[in-house]
Amino acid sequence: MNNPKSSYHHGDLRSTLLQAATDLIREGGVEALSMRKLADRVGVSRTAPYHHFTDKHALLSALAEEGFRRFEQRLQAEVGDCAPAERLDQFVRCYMDFALASPETYNLMFGSGVWQAGAPTPTLKAEAHGSFRRYVERVEQWQAEGVLPAEVDPLRFAQISWSTLHGLARLMIDGIYVDAHHLEALLDTAVGLFRQAL
Amino acid sequence: MNNPKSSYHHGDLRSTLLQAATDLIREGGVEALSMRKLADRVGVSRTAPYHHFTDKHALLSALAEEGFRRFEQRLQAEVGDCAPAERLDQFVRCYMDFALASPETYNLMFGSGVWQAGAPTPTLKAEAHGSFRRYVERVEQWQAEGVLPAEVDPLRFAQISWSTLHGLARLMIDGIYVDAHHLEALLDTAVGLFRQAL
DNA sequence: GCGTTATCTTGACACCGTCCAGTTACTACA
DNA sequence: TGTAGTAACTGGACGGTGTCAAGATAACGC
């Protein structure tokens, strides 16, 4: 009982699995994560994880959920207390920083693997939609503060600007078209575009 | 000899494989494509494809290349002969239409599977970069024609606007957030943003 | 103390990508 | 035309994958 590793019942397998999965992914990408290696590393039998996650898919979804929560925490910490005029800028920086600092987590959160075929876990779906809803509210606030042009439907604006950030993150993570050297210039261009102030 | 299926040497295996792979992917997504099923469908042994593609990765890259060529063809056909004022709009529509009409091809072209770890085939890389280079030229032309604001570095503008389209395509294909009903409104918003005319 | 239930294990199945050694047929040159 | 060389193709095998089914074990409620 004192040594959970030696007891037949692990006691805290679920969270241990999530932690080990995060490690494995950090070490070698999502492709390096297999249910068998995961079980092996935790010191448990091949099929033990299936008593805590119905699927590999479910495990990945759980990791994605964690990602959304960390993301929202960072946003709240770094964008919350900040002069209104700088909040948009700060948001953009924070978004990109998160995506580029933990690309694997970002892949999990927004990768087709978890969303394809409308297969996301209900809880993941809720987490993601909450995240986007809060972004729309931010946009509305920015419009009210005069940081963003007020003539546009805030929802459409939120969708397009999020698309820009998401697309940029994807292109950078995947190493297509854009080079990390120009990140600052790119973000300036993006923010200029959003504010209609090129 | 008359019946290529019955001869030991297939004669045109490479292109037959590409065609069959396209079919398999259309039927069940990239995940449904396995080298073994592919060989089976073509009526050839498991390892025969490896004499034409070093890897599964190489095969997928070849498909992605094909995608880029089709994409460029469509662009040239639909955006080439078109009043200057409408070319930006037409480009955006064409891009999105291509992405949403053949999401699997789009996934291949821009999916992390082919680009990750800087692993793209040299020929694929060339095809993709050519595509982007032509887009930058378009942007320069649009700026010269007064369709786009001229104060911005065309390269940065091209990168950001492509990001927007790519991000939107990804979000829609993956079924995150965005509802196809509002595609028109979204594209209008995007184009308005690009032209600085909200 | 005992039965229920959650947890974990071993074995098995059907796949997968791909290496290897051998077989077959085309091709170029004598 | 014969023959050597080479490109195309085959079947077997290896190590890996996700996951189902049946059984063992330990905790928990009565």
The domain locations on chain A are 1-52, 60-195
CB atoms within 10 A of CB B31: 10
Angle between helices A103-110 and A13-28 (to 10 degrees): 110
For position A76, what pLDDT does the model report? Answer: 93
**Chain CA centroid to CA B184, Å:** 21
For position A32, what pLDDT does the model report? Answer: 95
CA–CA gap between residue B185 and residue B191 (Å, rounded): 10
For position A7, what pLDDT does the model report? Answer: 66
The amino acid sitting at A9 is H
Spans of chain B below 70 pLDDT:
1-9, 178
Spans of chain A below 50 pLDDT:
1-6
CA–CA gap between residue A71 and residue A198 (Å, rounded): 29
Tell me if residue B164 falls in helix, strand or coil.
Answer: helix
Tell me if residue A179 falls in helix, strand or coil.
Answer: coil
Q: Answer whether any strand D atom is within 7 A of the Cβ of B13.
A: yes
User: Which residue's CA is nearest to the C1' of nucleotide D25?
Assistant: A8
A27 by Cβ neighbours in 10 Å (0-12 / 13-18 / 19+) ranks as exposed
Whole-number distance in Å between B123 CA and C28 C1': 31
Closest nucleotide to the alpha carbon of B58, via C1': C17
DSSP letter string, A68-119: HHHHHHHHHHHHSSS-HHHHHHHHHHHHHHHHHHSHHHHHHHH-HHHHGGG-
For position A82, what pLDDT does the model report? Answer: 85
Quote the pTM value: 0.92
For position B20, what pLDDT does the model report? Answer: 97
For position A147, what pLDDT does the model report? Answer: 93
For position A66, what pLDDT does the model report? Answer: 96
Chain B contacts to A (CB-CB under 8 A): 29, 107, 110-112, 115-116, 118, 128-129, 132, 149, 151-153, 156-157, 159-160, 162-171, 173-178, 182, 185-186, 189-190, 192-194, 196, 198
Torsion of the alpha carbons at A118, A67, A53 and B108, rounded to the nearest 10: 50
B29 by Cβ neighbours in 10 Å (0-12 / 13-18 / 19+) ranks as middle
Report whether CATH 1.10.10 matches the domain A1-52: yes
Q: Is the distance from CB of A129 to CB of A72 less than 8 angstroms? A: no
Q: Which residue carries 């987490």 as its tokens?
A: A127
Give residues with Cβ within 8 angstroms of A46, minimum separation 6. A35, A36, A39, A40
- Given 3.40.50.720, 3.30.70.20, 3.30.1700.10, 1.10.357.10, which CATH number is that of B61-195? 1.10.357.10
For position A25, what pLDDT does the model report? Answer: 97
**Chain CA centroid to CA A177, Å:** 22
Query: Looking at the domain that runs over A60-195, which CATH code has it been given?
Result: 1.10.357.10
